[in-house]
Amino acid sequence: MNERRKNMKVRRKIGKYEMGRTIGEGTFAKVKFARNSETGESVAIKIMAKATILEHRMVEQIKREISIMKIVRHPNIVILHEVLASQTKIYIILEFVMGGELYDKIVQQGRLSENESRRYFQQLIDAVDHCHKKGVYHRDLKPENLLLDAFGNLKVSDFGLSALTKKGVGLLHTTCGTPNYVAPEVLGNRGYNGAAADVWSCGVILYVLMAGYLPFEEPDLPTLYRRINAAEYVCPFWFSAKAKSFIRKILDPNPETRVKIEEIRKDPWFQENYFPVKLGECEQVNLDDVRAVFDDIEDQYVAEQSEITEGGPLIMNAFEMISLSQGLNLSPLFDRHQDYVKRQTRFVSRKPAKVIISSVEAIAESMGLKVHSRNYKVRLEGVSANKVGQFAVVLEVFEVAPSLFMVDIRKAAGDTFDYHKVSFSIYTYPHFFISQMLSSYAMGITKMKYG
């Protein structure tokens, strides 16, 4: 009976949304690709268990994040469509942003041209300025939280650490954010101006776009904090004089003299090829669905349906395959080199799905990892290389054609280095090399490896 349940395919439907593959996974939430069955629109659904939210006392934080995303609707901010709830889970329905993280583009491509960097920076400033006018301060701006749509436009995401203030409220006091991008005054455990702190983070992002690396990076936090507090950084030789001058105004360690957003907009460097985004009429923000979800109103529950059939792994349809690609270019689905720099890797194999799973389990066992398998999905857990934390990698097998399977590997928790180590061990396993329908790049690697 247990073996029979293991081999069942399950495709769920939440209200009008048909659920697909998992596209992200963290400690408290899972993000799935989904399709609106009424309109055909692609969406991303962030799923959180109510029990987990209550256990970790996250109700107010999540309620604030959802409310903020409804308030700050803007072309350069990820759209929150609606919020739904079942008896056990909360579903946040978000715009599906096809192009992935700006971080991945930088890692894959290296530094961007000054003109391309300026375009992303202009869109970032438009979005951040809009947030500030609504009394919202992001407080965790970094390339990992900036997504790109199919047209290459920037979208700000992840408002989990944001602050929503009322008019007349003074300084913020919570120290939060990612150290390399955080303003000096935030690190000082004193009150700080949210707008000035966000501007500093935008300056670090601009530097990273143009340089391909961080302005402040040290192996230990005390040295890193000292450099940030002193604004101790060096611009590479390829930065233009105007760009250097502009960045210097932003990365000013004194928040009182640091350039303001209205001054950024007037700067000649920023103004070049700048086309301000046109906003529509201000919509009335309705937070009724947010209140309903968190006030546990029973008639707001959405129906959860599961379609169960006998067989192997989930079949991935053409629509889902296209959604995996960047800019509708399907080559990244099967070109392992393109995905190596990311936190997600895919390859295809003609070996049976059961054989793929058992091979992965054997690899994990040889690496001393804990293995949890269910429905052609495997979660691998271990201790990070620096021995100070845990990491997790999730692998899932999909059927893309008769006897052809796609293996999707992604980081679920921990350091990216640990993810790369595990994923590399899996997709260079000789067993898979024999059977993969490889790109020309991978075939070249195979030839070198096996003569």
Residues 83 and 162 in one domain: no
Range of the domain at 375: 318-450
Q: Domain holding 92: CATH number?
A: 3.30.200.20
The pLDDT score that the predictor gives to residue 85 is 86
| Judgement on whether residues 255 and 349 belong to the same structural domain of the protein | no
- Helix (H, G, I), strand (E, B), or coil: what is residue 326? strand
Q: What is the CATH number of the domain that holds 193?
A: 1.10.510.10
- pLDDT on residue 332: 40
The residues that are catalytic are 140
Q: What pLDDT does residue 344 have?
A: 67
Q: Does residue 278 fall inside a structural domain?
A: no
Is 46 annotated in a binding site? The answer is yes
Distance CA 50, CA 89 (A): 5
Which residues of the chain carry a pLDDT beneath 70?
A: 1-11, 166-170, 280-286, 288, 292-293, 295-312, 314-344, 385-388, 430-451
Residue 279 lies in a domain: no
Query: What stretch of H or E contains 114?
Result: helix 114-133
pLDDT for the residue 246 = 97
pLDDT at 9 (0 to 100): 54
Other Cβ atoms closer than 10 A to 262: 8
The CA-based angle 147-151-154, given to 5 degrees, is 30
Task: For residues 159 and 232, state if they share a domain.
Answer: yes
Q: Please state the φ and ψ torsions of residue 282, each to the nearest 5 degrees.
A: -65, 120
pLDDT at 412: 80
CB 229 within 8 A of CB 223: no
State whether 125 and 260 are in the same domain.
Answer: yes
My answer on whether 165 and 25 are in the same domain is no
pTM to 2 decimals?
0.69
**Residue keyed to tokens 């979800």:** 293
Domain count, the chain: 3
At 80-127, the pLDDT tens digits run 998 888 888 889 999 998 888 898 888 888 899 999 999 999 999 999
Residues 92 and 106 in one domain: no
CA distances from 435 to 97, 355, 427, 449 (A): 32, 12, 11, 15
Asked whether residue 333 falls in the same domain as residue 397, the answer is yes
* 362 in a structural domain: yes
